[in-house]
Amino acid sequence: MKQKKFLLPESEIPQAWFNIQAVMPNKPMPILNPATREALKPEDLYPIFCEECSRQELNVTDEWIPIPEPVREAYASYRCTPLVRAYDLEKALGTPAHIYFKNESVSPAGSHKLNSALAQAYYAKQEGITNITTETGAGQWGGALSYAAKKFGLECAVYMVKISYNQKPYRRSIMNTFGATITPSPSMSTRAGKDIITANPNDNGSLGCAISEAIELAVTTSNCKYTLGSVLNHVCLHQTVIGLEAEKQMELAGEYPDTVIACFGGGSNFSGIAFPFMRHNIKDGKKTRFIAAEPASCPKLTRGKFEYDFGDEAGMTPLLPMYTLGHTFKPASIHAGGLRYHGAGVILSQLMKDGFMEAVDIEQTESFKAGVLFAQTEGIIPAPESCHAIAATVREALKCKETGQKKVILFNLSGHGFVDMGAYDQYFGGSLQDFHISDEELAKFIKSADDLNK
């Protein structure tokens, strides 16, 4: 019997996260205070984030950051996650490529998001915080944080992007079951939300807007901290458990990836699977390709601009040096809610700029076509976000079919689609749309970032 899954016991859960900032040839440019344009120090972030997360955010020296034992214990409820050889997908594509995927969908919340949620909730509890708040797009991060908060005994308030709140009622129910309070965003409960509703009463919401609301709640509530599910350096750090495990598992499989692929919203699951392998490109001369699969309707890496921008719509965050579509960007209503974000994480943007990674854009219908093929061959119904990684994988595997190259492709299955079946219904019903944004339209949004860089 050919081995299908490569498993590790929970004793192999990594002891430390890999901090790629320590080995980057060009360190990320500083995060700036928008008023003074001075580089931020960790203590400048304390009003918003936990202190430990703030320090991790700006730590460019320690290559390895120990994972606290209670976080490892919490990881043990689902980690190490399986690495799986997609034999049936390979066969269906007729490709000589070897396709592997890391299955992060087995986590309680159904996605990789729990890897950082547990860490952030743990640090909050340690620092005497009682309440945490956040935004969520598709609801995967919100679900993960809700469970993590319950696990460590914290109250949790989630601002959920309004379109997802309406499209994905089951995600709401999941957060509710884990004991969180959920508010659709934009809401009337914050000044940021009220401003957006005033400007456009029918606003569908965006991650950028929900972030503004959650930050406002955190800074105006005592004993309450904000948490973020992607983009930030410490979130990408926490996700590296994915790739660190995958590295050992690829060894068990006797292979090393030529290509590593993940979908890309703010960059968290991409960082998780990519960074541990990328360190061997940086340090050991390996030549692995890293491909970020972003939605064609939210093309920050393929069509965005590298410059300073806000991380949120209302401009409450520090200025981040990143590939951005402008913080006023209004992403189309694709089902992959977790990819509807205007910017790429700071570390990722620098790596992109320096040529360590590349990006492709995927139309919504192409992503679901690939997702259905994956479901019918490998049996797992993927989240709409993960469908983008699968589509990029299919493209690469078909190239191998043409050239006859037996490449080893590894992609991250960031989550399952059990709560996104409405999107699959639309796909089969033929009503799923692709969204095109013209250069002119895009330029208008990017101007909101340009204006900050004058």
Binding site for a second copy (CB under 8 A): 1-5, 7, 9-11, 69, 72-73, 76-78, 84, 88, 106, 108-110, 147, 150-151, 169-170, 173-174, 176-179, 372, 375-376, 378-381, 416, 418-419, 421-422, 424-425, 428
- Among residues 76 and 443, whose Cβ is nearest to a second copy? 76
Phi then psi for residue 63, to 5 deg, are -70, -30
For the CB of residue 13, give the shortest distance to a second copy in the complex, in Å. 8
Q: How far is the CB of 314 from a second copy (least distance, A)?
A: 31
Q: How many CA atoms lie within 13 A of 316 on its CB side?
A: 23
Contacts (Cβ under 8 Å, ≥6 apart) of 12 = 80, 245, 248
Q: Of 238 and 330, which has the nearer Cβ to a second copy?
A: 238
**Alpha-carbon torsion (341, 132, 269, 85), positive or negative:** negative
Taking the complex as a whole, how short is the minimal distance between the CB of residue 52 and a second copy, in angstroms? 21
| Closer to a second copy by Cβ: residue 78 or 256 | 78
CB 198, min distance to a second copy, A? 31
Toward a second copy, which CB reaches closer, 404 or 429? 429
In angstroms, give the least distance from the CB of 397 to a second copy: 19
3-state secondary structure the chain: CCCCEECCCHHHCCCEEECHHHCCCCCCCCCECCCCCCECCHHHHCCCCCHHHHHHHCCCCCCEEECCHHHHHHHCCCCCCCEEECHHHHHHHCCCCEEEEEEHHHCCCCECCHHHHHHHHHHHHHCCCCEEEEEECCCHHHHHHHHHHHHCCCEEEEEEEHHHHHHCHHHHHHHHHCCCEEEEECCCCCHHHHHHHHHCCCCCCCHHHHHHHHHHHHHCCCCEEECCCCCCHHHHHHHCHHHHHHHHHHHHHCCCCCEEEEECCCCHHHHHHHHHHHHHHHHHCCCCEEEEEEECCCCHHHHCEEEEEECCCCCCCCEEEEEECCCCCCCCCCCCHHHCCCECCHHHHHHHHCCCCEEEEECHHHHHHHHHHHHHHHCCCECHHHHHHHHHHHHHHHHHHHHCCCCEEEEEECEECCCCHHHHHHHHHCCCCCCCCCHHHHHHHHHHHHHHHC
Compute the least distance from the CB of residue 244 to a second copy, in Å: 17
> Measured from the CB atom, is 110 or 299 closer to a second copy?
110
Taking the least distance from each CB to a second copy, the nearer of 34 and 66 is 66
Q: Amino acid identity, residue 408?
A: V
CB of 431 to a second copy, least distance (A): 14
Q: Which C-beta is closer to a second copy: that of 290 or that of 424?
A: 424
* Closest CB 377 distance from a second copy, rounded Å: 8
CB of 71 to a second copy, least distance (A): 11
Q: Quick one: 341 or 411, whose CB is closer to a second copy? A: 411
39 or 76: CB nearest a second copy: 76
Cβ proximity to a second copy: between 301 and 381 the closer is: 381
Whichever of 64 and 418 has its CB closer to a second copy, that residue is 418
Q: Which CB atom, from 5 or from 27, has the smaller least distance to a second copy? A: 5
Cα separation, 213 vs 188, whole angstroms: 10
CB of 84 to a second copy, least distance (A): 8
Please give the distance of CA 206 from its chain centroid, rounded to a whole number: 15
The two structure tokens encoding residue 57: 């955010």
Smallest gap from Cβ 305 to a second copy, in A, equals: 38
Task: Give dist(CA 303, CA 293) in Å, integer.
Answer: 13
| CA 187 distance to own-chain centroid | 24
